[in-house]
Amino acid sequence: MKLLILLSCFFGISSCLEEFIKWNQIEYENLPETGNFPFIQYNNVPQGFAPYKDKIFIAVPRRNHGIPSTLNYVKLEHGKDVYTNPKLQSYPNYETNELDPSNQANPNRIISVYRPRVDECDRLWFVDSGVINTSGNLSIIQRPSIWVFDLKTDQLVKRFEIPENVVRDGLGLASITVDVIDCNGNSFAYIPDLLNSQMIIYNLQDDKAYRMQHNYFRMNPFEGDFDVDGLQFSWDDGIFSITLSNIDNDGYRTAYFHPMSSFSEFAVSTSVLRNETLASRGYHGNDVKLVGNRGKNTQSTMHSFHAATGVVYYAQINKNAVSCWNSNRELKSTNFKEVVRDDVKLIYPSDLKVSGDDLYVMSNRMIRHIYSKLDTNDFNFRIFKISIKDARCSATQTRRRKFRN
Ligand SMILES: *[C@@H]1O[C@H](CO)[C@@H](O)[C@H](O)[C@H]1NC(C)=O
Ligand SMILES: *[C@@H]1O[C@H](CO)[C@@H](O)[C@H](O)[C@H]1NC(C)=O
Ligand SMILES: *[C@@H]1O[C@H](CO)[C@@H](O)[C@H](O)[C@H]1NC(C)=O
């Protein structure tokens, strides 16, 4: 039986996808009876998550009216591995998430979060875009900011406002990748800006941000058409996801990245990203490289590197799938494998993260929410959890690269 399940995983049959959490609609725990704005349940669409011990953080960006709290978590219970409609709890509390009644800028409040991340120093990182997007009506409330919480104490250890000479506003800041050098304050964060096709780099030690620009951060105009769930649309999102390799021989990591509207994968060394002079120069020589083309219709939201195997997992929006590439091999379509596909449960895989030896994927049917209508009696939002050993990229995987102990 175990073998059968494993084999069905290799052939991409949905039975190996373990539904970890599923929701028809989002509900919150402990909402005040009268908030500053009314709760409109239908508009609450989760986009990102971050697992940490007995919590899983869930972000509901303010892409619409009626979202009471953008940064939340679900408390996990020991031994329980299926959750149906668990309520979200605000993090760190409701007050920090509540909108100001007059939409004033307020550094003590979080406006909108997409995809938080937890690093190996027990810290939660996320970008507050500072923007409310209500059905295309953009309200820029405040400067975009980077937040860091110490999860051992739930204390805010850093809030950094990204200055205007780095980015005009936070509209395109939908994810963050943390590069930890040590847990004593030496870390970098890399933030893709999907609207301005640039990368924002934050140096925690120097408490300073700068940006890198490069043409490879842009979408490919021939690869921006989508056909999902019977809906056709064109998107022009640039650089969307950054994931880091293990430490290479030179002491730096490789940052793999892709624009969303693109079939290609690119790479740049963190030795370039961490050095402001190198990152911000106008001409980059061969700093940034094309890694390869993944094949037709392989547009991806998030991707994530598994340290022990060197395999990179991809959330595939144009295929309702999760795919993988063993980074020890050449990246081409024949080395880009489908792990699982599901045309019902995996519509718009909005976030994906390897955490330890588990792969987590969130899907949220956002395409239906934007271009059609969600059936609120159906399960619409899901988080899957798959053990990496059940999501192996290839049975004959070679491990040429040496990994850090
Ligand atoms: C704002 O929301 C609209 C409608 O959901 C969407 O099409 C657009 O891409 C959003 N803009 C940004 C910058 O997120
Ligand atoms: C657009 O945003 C402005 C500023 O917050 C607000 O006054 C207005 O009512 C909004 N319009 C819609 C259609 O949401
Ligand atoms: C950054 O790169 C420049 C150009 O190669 C080099 O001169 C400088 O020493 C580097 N800075 C750091 C802090 O490594």
Cβ neighbourhood burial of 120 (10 Å; 0-12, 13-18, 19+)? exposed
The answer to whether residues 65 and 58 touch, using CB atoms and an 8 Å cutoff, is no
pTM over cut 0.75: yes
Q: Residue 136: pLDDT above 90? A: no
Q: Quick one: which ligand is closest to 276's CA?
A: 3
Q: What Å distances lie between residue 12 and 15, 122, 199, 222, 389, CA to CA? A: 9, 34, 34, 28, 15
Atom index in ligand 2 nearest the CA of residue 103 equals 5
Average pLDDT of the segment spanning 299-311:
97
The answer to whether residues 361 and 349 touch, using CB atoms and an 8 Å cutoff, is yes
Q: Which residue segments constitute the domains of the chain, with CATH numbers given? A: 2-387 (2.120.10.30)
Best mutation site among 43, 60, 63 for ligand 1, i.e. most ligand atoms within 8 A of its Cβ?
63
Query: Tokens 């690093």 map to which residue?
Result: 119
Instruction: Using the mean position of ligand 2's atoms as its centre, give its distance from the Cα of residue 131 in Å.
Output: 12
Instruction: Using the mean position of ligand 3's atoms as its centre, give its distance from the Cα of residue 271 in Å.
Output: 9
Q: Quick one: which ligand is closest to 272's CA?
A: 3
What count of other Cβ atoms lies within 10 Å of the Cβ of residue 80? Answer: 8
State whether the beta carbon of 171 lies less than 6 angstroms from ligand 1.
yes
Instruction: Using the mean position of ligand 2's atoms as its centre, give its distance from the Cα of residue 100 in Å.
Output: 14
Closest by Cα among 139, 253, 136 to 188 = 253
What is the distance of C-alpha 207 from the center of its chain? 23
Q: Residue 130: pLDDT above 60? A: yes
Instruction: Using the mean position of ligand 2's atoms as its centre, give its distance from the Cα of residue 27 in Å.
Output: 24
**Sheet of 381-387, strand order:** 83-84, 18-23, 381-387, 358-363, 349-355
Average pLDDT, the chain: 92
Name which residue sits closest to atom 1 of ligand 3, judged by CA. 275
Instruction: Using the mean position of ligand 1's atoms as its centre, give its distance from the Cα of residue 402 in Å.
Output: 43
Tell which wins on pLDDT, 9 or 79.
79
Average pLDDT of the segment spanning 49-74:
97
The model's pLDDT over 341-395, given as tens digits with 9 standing for 90+, comes to 999 999 999 999 999 999 999 999 999 999 999 999 999 999 999 999 888 887 4
Q: Which pLDDT does position 16 carry in this prediction?
A: 62
Name which residue sits closest to atom 5 of ligand 3, judged by CA. 278
Instruction: Using the mean position of ligand 3's atoms as its centre, give its distance from the Cα of residue 75 in Å.
Output: 45
Distance, in Å, from the CA atom of 96 to the CA atom of 88, rounded to the nearest integer, reads: 15
Reported as a pLDDT band with limits 50, 70 and 90, residue 272 is very high
Q: Which pLDDT does position 405 carry in this prediction?
A: 27
Distance, in Å, from the CA atom of 378 to the CA atom of 392, rounded to the nearest integer, reads: 31
State whether the beta carbon of 278 lies less than 6 angstroms from ligand 1.
no
Average pLDDT of the segment spanning 231-256:
97
Distance, in Å, from the CA atom of 155 to the CA atom of 124, rounded to the nearest integer, reads: 10
Reported as a pLDDT band with limits 50, 70 and 90, residue 134 is confident
Distance, in Å, from the CA atom of 162 to the CA atom of 256, rounded to the nearest integer, reads: 23
The answer to whether residues 313 and 265 touch, using CB atoms and an 8 Å cutoff, is no
Per the structure block, which two tokens stand in for 146?
């980077």
The half-sphere exposure of 364 on its side-chain side, counting CA atoms within 13 A, is 23
Q: Residue 318: pLDDT above 90? A: yes
Torsion from C-alpha of 71, 383, 134, 132, nearest 10 degrees = 30
Atom index in ligand 1 nearest the CA of residue 195 equals 13
Name which residue sits closest to atom 3 of ligand 2, judged by CA. 139
Beta bridge partners of 313: 304, 324
State whether the beta carbon of 234 lies less than 6 angstroms from ligand 1.
no
At 140, phi and psi to the nearest 5?
-85, 105
Instruction: Using the mean position of ligand 3's atoms as its centre, give its distance from the Cα of residue 279 in Å.
Output: 10
Q: Which pLDDT does position 15 carry in this prediction?
A: 43
The model's pLDDT over 162-200, given as tens digits with 9 standing for 90+, comes to 999 999 999 999 999 999 999 999 999 999 999 999 999
